[in-house]
Amino acid sequence: MKKIQVNIKHILNTVNEESVRTIQKGAAAAGLEKLNKGTGEGNDFLGWLDLPSRTPAHHLDEIQAVADELRNSCDYVVSIGIGGSYLGAKAVIEALSNSFDAYTPALPNNPKVLFAGQNIGEDYLYELQEFLKDKRFGIIVISKSGTTIEPAIAFRLLKEQLEAQVGKEKASKLIVAITDAKRGALRQLATEEGYKTFVIDDNVGGRFSVLTPVGLLPIAVAGFDIKKLVEGALELQHDTEKASDDNISELYAAARNALYQAGKKIEILVNYNPKLHYFGEWWKQLYGESEGKDHKGIYPAAVDFSTDLHSMGQWIQDGERTIFETVLSVDSVKHTKVIPSDEANLDGLNYIAGKRVDEVNKMAELGTRIAHVDGGVPNIRITIPELSEKYLGQLIYFFEKACGISGYILGVNPFNQPGVEDYKRNMFALLEKPGYEEATKAIQAKLGE
């Protein structure tokens, strides 16, 4: 059976295998035990740990049925959410979609999933609303609290538009809310308006929620197989349950911490497939929010190669030596494209004529890896057999499990995000009345403005 794999061979000129294995057998195994026994900090947020095995087929059928209703009635479905309520679905949909879907009109019964509520861009919202004028659209609104400002603004606008376009009653059938089981503004509104709802469990944090309806519903609406996604995750749940040399989540967590302890403070997630761009964004939130605490933590960055070799390649090859790379390498692509021969051969590239584009890409990957390792940038390599629901499910669970273990190795609570609250407090203080003016002045004075 094919699986994703982790290779640490190319970090061994920076940290030796023994030190990685020592961390794996010691701190990583202890971290895994904390997860399994629920004895670590943040243990009230471990609902994601056995989510694949706890998700019954009928729950997936229910999500699929709601997705099918939206697919039948809409040409566009706007998924509204931010952070963990956005990035997982976006990452999977982008990885599996045709790259030019964005430029093609949605087909009946195969709606395009659009995203909103992940920014406060007035022009973005204006253009989205203009685009949706007179179109058949529905809304998935995802927010535990219902008061997060970005999705709340987007939802107000789109709800008003939908109600104006199809009437209040029909609109209520085209809106699905994913929120807290009992509490919060969105739960109250959904009850009052009679929206179909799904629950975000209390023990699953936003960035670990892609395998709940938060990620699964938009992914199913986009036409992808959520059963296969969960199936893939389940395989990795089983594989990473016990401490062992073959546990790839433990291995990755141990390797990145060995590198961190050796002074490598920045991890760059590298892909060689543009479809994985948003997977990098999802990964950044997962590791950034989980580990950046108590003035500690590897800084998670991401690049798309070979595109960014022509912008960031210089820095990576030759800049400060505080970085390491984790390369996502996809074994097989879906389509075949052979490079044609050219009689004039002005670009001098006839020597690659007849080769597949992916063969060139793989050589770019290999050449870059050698150059970066030689240049003092250790490389962890993760291979993915192909971009499909199953392997993305494996990859998601692999990274989630490794993230929990890694946070415990680092000595932080991987499941809270106290820092995210700070900007919210300031923004609300600036916007809220009474005291709006004074609060604005106080903050501006603090910033010396």
Ligand X SMILES: O=P(O)(O)OC[C@H]1O[C@](O)(CO)[C@@H](O)[C@@H]1O
Residues that bind ligand X (CB under 6 A): 82-85, 143-145, 148, 151, 206-207, 417, 420
326/302 Cα distance (integer angstroms): 9
Of residues 152 and 309, the one with the C-beta less far from ligand X: 152
Helix 389-410 and helix 29-37: axis angle, to 10°?
100
374/48 Cα distance (integer angstroms): 39
Burial code (b: 16+ CB inside 10 Å, e: under 16) for 30-40 equals: ebbebbeeeeb
* Contacts by 262-266, CB closer than 8 A, 24 or more apart: 262/14, 262/15, 263/321, 263/322, 264/14, 264/298, 264/322, 264/323, 264/324, 264/378, 265/298, 265/299, 265/322, 265/323, 266/298, 266/299, 266/301, 266/322, 266/323, 266/324
Contacts of 149 by beta carbon, 8 Å cutoff, 6+ apart = 120, 424, 427, 428
Count CA atoms within 13 Å of residue 378 on its CB side. Answer: 27
**What DSSP element (H or E) covers 360?**
helix 357-374
Of residues 143 and 212, the one with the C-beta less far from ligand X: 143
Distance of CA 198 to the CA centre of its chain: 20
Question: C-beta of 421: minimal distance to ligand X in Å?
Answer: 9
DSSP 3-state percent helix, strand, coil across the chain (nearest 5): 55, 15, 30
Question: C-beta of 208: minimal distance to ligand X in Å?
Answer: 9
Helix 149-166 and helix 418-431: axis angle, to 10°?
60
Question: C-beta of 403: minimal distance to ligand X in Å?
Answer: 13
Question: C-beta of 423: minimal distance to ligand X in Å?
Answer: 10
Q: Token pair for residue 314?
A: 């210089």
Q: How far is CA 232 from CA 54, 258, 273, 303, in A?
A: 14, 28, 20, 25
Q: Token pair for residue 167?
A: 């009437």
Question: C-beta of 328: minimal distance to ligand X in Å?
Answer: 22
Q: Select which of 281, 289, 291, 325 is catalytic.
A: 289
Of residues 244 and 426, the one with the C-beta less far from ligand X: 426
Question: C-beta of 264: minimal distance to ligand X in Å?
Answer: 26
DSSP annotation of 202: T
200/42 Cα distance (integer angstroms): 17
Q: Are 324 and 11 in contact (CB under 8 A)?
A: yes
Question: C-beta of 289: minimal distance to ligand X in Å?
Answer: 6
Task: Determine the residue with CB nearest ligand X.
Answer: 206
Of residues 189 and 243, the one with the C-beta less far from ligand X: 189
Of residues 88 and 378, the one with the C-beta less far from ligand X: 88
Helix 226-239 and helix 389-410: axis angle, to 10°?
40
Say whether 359 is catalytic.
Answer: no
Q: Select which of 2, 424, 437, 438 is catalytic.
A: 424
Question: C-beta of 82: minimal distance to ligand X in Å?
Answer: 5
Of residues 421 and 437, the one with the C-beta less far from ligand X: 421
Say whether 432 is catalytic.
Answer: no
Of residues 208 and 305, the one with the C-beta less far from ligand X: 208
Helices (H) and strands (E) in the chain, counts: 18, 10
300/302 Cα distance (integer angstroms): 7
Of residues 143 and 197, the one with the C-beta less far from ligand X: 143
**Catalytically annotated residues:** 289, 424
